[in-house]
Chains A and B, each alone.
Chain A
Amino acid sequence: MGEALPVERIDAVRQRAVAAALREFLPARSVLFEDEDTRPYECDGLTAYRRVPMVVALPENDEQVQRVLRTCSSMNVPVVPRGAGTGLSGGALPLADGVLLSMAKFMRVLRVDPKARIAIVQPGVRNAAISDLVSPFGLYYAPDPSSQIACSIGGNVAENSGGVHCLKYGLTVHNVMRVRGYTVAGEAVEFGSEALDAPGYDLLALAVGSEGMLVVITEVTVKLLPKPPLARVVMASFDDVEKASDAVAAVIAEGIVPAGLEMMDKQATGAVEQFVRAGYDLDAAAILLCEADGTTEEVEEEVARVKQVLSRAGATRMVVSRDEDERLKLWSGRKAAFPAVGRISPDYYCMDGTIPRHRLGEVLRFIGEMEKKYGLRCPNVFHAGDGNLHPLILFDANDPDELHRTEQFAAEVLEKCIEVGGTITGEHGVGVEKIDQMCVQFQPAELELFHAVKRAFDSRGLLNPGKAVPTLVRCAEFGRMRVHGGRLPFAELPRF
């Protein structure tokens, strides 16, 4: 199993041949290969990695997608699917010898069935557009990643995106009923159904979060939920981060499952407040945002219980939103946390580890030590309810040493997440960004199984190759695992 390094140079002859083959059935506007046209596709939301694709294909219907895939398969050209390009792990990083398959033209809503509470949409439809569209029926689509005004549902499926309401309403995998699409060979597939299950293996669960490595999706059926008539958010201040963290555990232990439960530390609220004026307590070491939703009666009851628990847990100050404007204002800071941090630093690097909640204090202390060790600041925003941590390392990419220190800092934090029983990525995906840390999180036999799963869908490794799952050779080079002479150590049941 050799490691084929990605080609960095576009072969002009090959480029012309592939573009011509695609032009057989795609209009000129849908096949891009001039540098000025393909350059906008050189990266996704992870801008540290860039590569101009050989050719960009922008199909407009299923038949064209199928033909793009068949053509690429027959010419042995790798294909990288791309949604809105907001992904944060480089999952849509192009290949210089590959076709970038943009699903941007798949913008249609195919069917909304308010009675059955489902919407069938094409993958290019934006996340927030679905909720806007079905709002007249009193319904909404629950997962709300903070990029929801820009990110597309196809990308959400590829990454199994979360958001701030996951603890109560789940991730993308819990809110998608069916996907239709094609294997890289151009075979039509359908996983899931409009019923609550489908016969055979749960291939829907496998496809969701597969980072565009198994199938190209052209249609998504999402579940819609009744919009809660009321939501109120409690903002609580704490003079100590660990007290705030214990307060989160206390809320859950009380049998409350809040609609949202978020934490921001002092560095994060400071950055945000300059940018959006959400009204955060800037004296607090950390603030919690805890949202209750439901009927008026339910919300009143839950808010009262939450306040009681938080006050017992040592909250120094509490503010409860009085109306929808105030609620949205309190959330605006959290949702704008990334761009706000982008304003106070030339660059920032967003991490995405998930940890068991009770280890939060330890992990935050560790991050504090890393700030000193690498001489870089790191505000923290945290989906506290589900243990998903987003430390944001501030750096200047023009300073090569800062970039290098940032990468080391991030790698140490991700490995700490694994050490405390967590994971290197909660919702942003592995992509190209965290591929080396996969060698730490998984054993060779597990990685080998992932490759076997991929081969079941894509026997020649043409769909988004080189992402999400490292080869064992790469891991050996990374130096975390010992692979002798390219052979797997026979796994003598290493763990338990």
Chain B
Amino acid sequence: MDAVLRGMAERVRLAAERAQPLRLRGGGTKDFYGNEVAGEPLDTRAFTGIVSYEPSELVVTARAGTPLVELEAALAANNQMLPFEPPHFGPGATLGGCVAAGLSGPRRASAGAVRDFVLGARLLDGRGRVLAFGGQVMKNVAGYDVSRLLAGSLGTLGVILEVSLKVLPRPAQEASLRLEAPEDKAIEWMNQWGGKPLPISATCYVNGELSVRLSGAPAAVRAAREKLGGEELPQPESFWLNLREQAHDAFTAGEPLWRLSLPCTTPPLRLPGAQVMEWGGALRWLATGAEPRAIRDAAQRAGGHATLFRARNKAAGAFTPLSPVAARLHRDLKAAFDPAGIFNRGRLYPGL
């Protein structure tokens, strides 16, 4: 067995024996995400490297410590990509952190989220055992879908060791356009377009401007570009990259940043602050000093939920509280994977 893995497994076993909490960490680029977590850091970066990549199978398997930039470069060399366009939030981002955080980028509304592309995973559980779930094939219904469950679990269920992902060819062509519109109109348009066979791969509405990215066969992109009208979006690549990485001005206003995940037809929110809308209306970022309660209530009334994404003070809790039954299921699942409760305790919910 790999010496690095043996070391990690040994540490987990010792920590479990002593009920010593561990803080799982890759590049640390998403340290800000979730609630504050105590514990000794367990660095996953030494467990790195692409294990297998067969472009004609559309599947890549890599270890958790593999830098996202390295993985994306390997895919790009074969004209393929991670379809969910994950945010990096820093040069050190790793695959393990990407899957644990479960965050997807601008392409999410059309392509799917991280969890949609996870085919299999290996995991170090709370007893220090290496467990494998799923596999390297597209269709696999043997056993419960534990590998998808890991996406977004924020390292609370175990140390993600290795992940197999479905990948896709890069689109043959992309074009981006920009339209001016009031917010309600922009939401209406995005939803109308969503019901039409248009190759829309990303949308963003900020400061009265709606930007749209088209990706696909050249003929389809050309036809859609004419149909939607608008102006050419200047420097489209850096625009979408800045959106993914939250480098846009609206994200850096200094106020707490909220992530509101909502049904895509939700009308404009009557909440103060600077807003960036993505995912055809289904994701709204709000930089605001408004009362957490008011924000969560507004999101829940609309049928969604609000996450306190970036803030100095997370006393309100990073994530929308669960119903009592869901909370119990979470506790029991956590105990199944991590009986001593050592992994990233409290990062998702207090006590979890």
Smallest Cβ distance from A364 to chain B, in angstroms?
Answer: 16
5 tightest A-B contacts by CB?
A297-B219, A452-B336, A456-B332, A255-B169, A426-B139
The verdict on A194 contacting B140 (CB below 8 Å), with A116-B263, A183-B325, A493-B130 known, is no
Chain B 1-41 interface 0/1 with A at a Cβ cutoff of 8 Å (1 = within): 11001100100000000000000000000000000000000
B137 touches A386 (CB 8 A): yes
Q: Which of A200, A356, A423, A425 contacts B322 (CB 8 A)?
A: A200
Smallest Cβ distance from B283 to chain A, in angstroms?
Answer: 7
Binds A, one of B106-114, B201-209, B269-277: B106-114
B116 touches A429 (CB 8 A): no
Contacts of B153 in A (CB 8 A): 201-202
The verdict on A301 contacting B218 (CB below 8 Å), with A115-B195, A455-B336, A493-B5 known, is yes
Tell me whether A430 is interfacial, beta carbon within 8 Å.
yes
Tell me whether A355 is interfacial, beta carbon within 8 Å.
yes
Contacts of B268 in A (CB 8 A): none
Tell me whether A100 is interfacial, beta carbon within 8 Å.
no
We find that the number of chain A residues with CB closer than 8 angstroms to chain B is 99
Tell me whether A445 is interfacial, beta carbon within 8 Å.
yes
B326 touches A427 (CB 8 A): no
B326 touches A354 (CB 8 A): no
B54 touches A358 (CB 8 A): yes
* Residue in B142, B151, B199, B326 whose Cβ sees the most chain A Cβ within 10 Å: B142
Tell me whether A374 is interfacial, beta carbon within 8 Å.
no
Contacts of B307 in A (CB 8 A): 199
Chain B 151-184 interface 0/1 with A at a Cβ cutoff of 8 Å (1 = within): 1110001000000000011101000000000000
Smallest Cβ distance from A345 to chain B, in angstroms?
Answer: 26
A160 touches B141 (CB 8 A): yes
A117 touches B195 (CB 8 A): yes
Smallest Cβ distance from B35 to chain A, in angstroms?
Answer: 12
Smallest Cβ distance from B341 to chain A, in angstroms?
Answer: 14
B196 touches A494 (CB 8 A): no
Smallest Cβ distance from B326 to chain A, in angstroms?
Answer: 6
Tell me whether A486 is interfacial, beta carbon within 8 Å.
no
A229 touches B197 (CB 8 A): yes
Question: CA–CA, A354 to B142, complex, Å?
Answer: 10
A138 touches B169 (CB 8 A): no
Residues of B within 8 A of A (CB): 1-2, 5-6, 9, 54-59, 79, 102, 108-109, 112-113, 115-116, 122, 125, 128-133, 135-146, 148-149, 151-153, 157, 168-170, 172, 191-192, 194-199, 216-220, 222-223, 261-265, 279, 282-283, 303-305, 307, 319-323, 325-326, 329-330, 332-333, 335-337, 348-349
Closest chain B residue, CB of each to CB of A300 = B219
Question: CA–CA, A474 to B303, complex, Å?
Answer: 45
* Residue in B57, B129, B348 whose Cβ sees the most chain A Cβ within 10 Å: B129
Smallest Cβ distance from A24 to chain B, in angstroms?
Answer: 25
Smallest Cβ distance from B185 to chain A, in angstroms?
Answer: 14
Contacts of B57 in A (CB 8 A): 249, 252, 356-358, 387
Contacts of B279 in A (CB 8 A): 196
Tell me whether A189 is interfacial, beta carbon within 8 Å.
yes
Closest chain A residue, CB of each to CB of B55 = A253
B137 touches A226 (CB 8 A): no
The verdict on A173 contacting B55 (CB below 8 Å), with A295-B219, A298-B219, A298-B220 known, is no
Question: CA–CA, A318 to B347, complex, Å?
Answer: 57
A162 touches B139 (CB 8 A): yes
A469 touches B143 (CB 8 A): yes
Closest chain B residue, CB of each to CB of A305 = B217
B217 touches A298 (CB 8 A): yes
Smallest Cβ distance from A69 to chain B, in angstroms?
Answer: 13
Question: CA–CA, A209 to B24, complex, Å?
Answer: 29
Question: CA–CA, A495 to B9, complex, Å?
Answer: 13
Smallest Cβ distance from A300 to chain B, in angstroms?
Answer: 7
Contacts of B56 in A (CB 8 A): 249-250, 252-253, 357-358
Tell me whether A75 is interfacial, beta carbon within 8 Å.
no
Q: Which of A117, A171, A208, A214 contacts B139 (CB 8 A)?
A: A171
Tell me whether A167 is interfacial, beta carbon within 8 Å.
yes
Binds B, one of A125-133, A328-336, A436-444: A436-444
Q: Can you list 24 contacts pairing A with B, beta carbon distance less than 8 Å?
A: A189-B325, A189-B329, A193-B303, A196-B264, A202-B149, A203-B149, A206-B149, A209-B141, A226-B194, A253-B55, A257-B58, A257-B168, A295-B219, A298-B216, A356-B57, A356-B59, A383-B139, A423-B142, A425-B140, A427-B139, A445-B129, A453-B333, A468-B143, A495-B130
Chain A 433-461 interface 0/1 with B at a Cβ cutoff of 8 Å (1 = within): 01000100111011001101111110000
Contacts of A195 in B (CB 8 A): 261-264, 282, 303-305
Contacts of B337 in A (CB 8 A): 449, 452
Contacts of B348 in A (CB 8 A): 200-201
